[in-house]
């Protein structure tokens, strides 16, 4: 099959012909129909993920059709239209048994623990535990955009932050994660403030539901957020992965506010500073958000079917597998708006 491969970290990807994957016990092979290009893929290419073994094929935001199944798979058949969370639970560890497959002790992650979907075919383990059936109304490109950024934002806003109608939510960083969070918060009746340094991205954020914007390049985001909200945001989401932005996100909260960290920080910034005086004095919550369980997809898919969520609006560009190599390596420049998806293999 054709795949985009990197042989060394931080070195260019090349398009190669590699052996077709085979399903593991309890697994399937999917024919890839679409795959998002995510900043998490860029972190992996940079060498920030210890699970990656070289050579490697990235790609974890995927949708496709079941092509081959192992004999142990009970719920799926060839031809089924599916997507999958970027974290696959094993189904039997303590975390999975408690319903928290997104932090499985033996998690399977296409594009990280195994080769991913920058390829014509991709193998997915623990299929019965993790595959999600796609409604006919949702096309493959839209479905692929859900696989990391949208589902992570959905769980962050709905489950972790417990956002309620009327609350203020400040979203720091208007890439795919941040824009998803803004859309989801608006659908729940919350008031989203978009924070970024790009005027273009802030304008787009307004078009999908942000009630206010802050250009952090021109003004102090903490001061402006407190002014807009008259005291601070109830919820603040860091969707970029920057230590200064994370500090500002926590600092912009109202008393008893909730900070949700989604953005991945580069390895050199993993021990970022926290305004612990504010955490204590204002009884703030600091929570992480790492994907979403397959069992939580139905609520999100139903909101999409009802038109309450429109993730297709977040698709910025479609590219070929050949074009994906340059797009991935250029991600640290934060060019373009919305999600880029590979739809030609």
- Tens digits of per-residue pLDDT, 163-214? 999 999 999 999 989 999 999 999 999 999 999 999 999 999 999 999 999 9
pLDDT tops 90 at residue 61: yes
| Four-residue CA torsion sign, 193, 195, 198, 201 | negative
Confidence (pLDDT) at 334: 74
Instruction: For residue 206, give the DSSP letter.
Output: H
pLDDT tops 90 at residue 331: no
Which residues are within 8 A (CB) of 87 and not within 5 positions of it... i.e. 6 or more apart?
Answer: 101, 102, 103, 104, 107, 108, 109, 290, 291
Of the candidate ranges 35-39, 190-194, 253-257, 262-266, the one whose mean pLDDT is the lowest: 262-266
Topology, domain 2-149+292-344: Quinone Oxidoreductase; Chain A, domain 1 (3.90.180)
- Structure tokens, 307: 């038109």
Between the alpha carbon of residue 95 and those of residues 36, 124, 128, 147, the distances in Å are: 27, 20, 17, 20
Asked if 2-149+292-344 and 151-288 have one fold, the answer is no
CA 314 from centre of chain: 13
- Structure tokens, 225: 């957020």
Q: What is the pTM of this model?
A: 0.92
pLDDT tops 90 at residue 91: yes
**The domain defined by 151-288 carries CATH number 3.40.50.720:** yes
Give me the residue label for tokens 């919820």. Answer: 235
CA separation for the pair 138, 126 (Å, rounded): 23
Which residues are within 8 A (CB) of 195 and not within 5 positions of it... i.e. 6 or more apart?
Answer: 170, 171, 172, 173, 174, 213, 214, 216, 221, 225
- Across the chain, what does the average pLDDT equal? 95
pLDDT tops 90 at residue 248: yes
CA separation for the pair 16, 323 (Å, rounded): 13
The Cβ of residue 220 has, within 10 Å, a number of other Cβ atoms equal to 13
SS3 54: coil
Confidence (pLDDT) at 147: 82
Angle at 170 between CA 164 and CA 172, to 5 degrees: 140
pLDDT tops 80 at residue 223: yes
Domains in the chain: boundaries: 2-149+292-344, 151-288
pLDDT tops 90 at residue 310: yes
Please, are residues 275 and 247 in contact by the beta-carbon 8 Å criterion?
yes
């Amino acid at each position: 099959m054709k795949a985009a491969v990197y042989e060394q970290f931080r070195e260019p990807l090349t398009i190669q012909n590699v052996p077709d994957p085979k399903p593991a016990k309890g697994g399937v092979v999917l024919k890839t129909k679409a795959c998002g290009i995510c900043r998490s893929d860029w972190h992996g290419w940079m060498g920030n993920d210890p699970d990656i073994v070289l050579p490697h094929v990235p790609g974890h935001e995927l949708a496709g059709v079941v092509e081959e199944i192992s004999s142990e798979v009970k719920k799926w058949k060839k031809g089924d239209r599916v997507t999958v969370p970027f974290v696959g639970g094993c189904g039997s560890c303590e975390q999975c048994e408690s319903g928290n497959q997104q932090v499985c002790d033996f998690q399977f992650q296409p594009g990280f623990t195994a080769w991913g979907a920058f390829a014509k075919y991709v193998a997915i383990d623990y299929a019965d535990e993790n595959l999600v059936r796609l409604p006919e109304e949702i096309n493959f490109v839209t479905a692929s955009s859900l696989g990391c950024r949208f589902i992570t934002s959905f769980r962050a806003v709905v489950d972790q932050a417990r956002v309620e109608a009327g609350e203020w939510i400040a979203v720091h960083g208007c890439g795919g994660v941040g824009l998803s969070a803004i859309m989801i918060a608006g659908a729940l009746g919350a008031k989203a403030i978009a924070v970024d340094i790009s005027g273009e991205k802030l304008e787009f954020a307004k078009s999908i539901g942000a009630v206010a914007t802050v250009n952090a390049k021109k003004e102090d985001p903490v001061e402006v957020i407190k002014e807009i909200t008259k005291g601070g945001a109830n919820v603040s989401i860091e969707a970029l992965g920057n230590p200064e932005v994370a500090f500002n996100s926590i600092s912009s909260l109202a008393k008893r506010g909730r900070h949700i960290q989604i953005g991945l920080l580069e390895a050199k910034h993993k021990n970022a500073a926290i305004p612990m005086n504010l955490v204590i004095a204002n009884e703030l919550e600091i929570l992480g958000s790492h994907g979403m369980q397959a069992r939580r997809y139905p609520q999100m898919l139903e909101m999409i079917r009802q038109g309450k969520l429109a993730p297709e609006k977040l698709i910025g560009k479609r590219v070929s597998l050949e074009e994906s190599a340059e797009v991935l390596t250029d991600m640290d420049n934060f060019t373009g708006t919305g999600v880029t998806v590979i739809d030609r293999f």
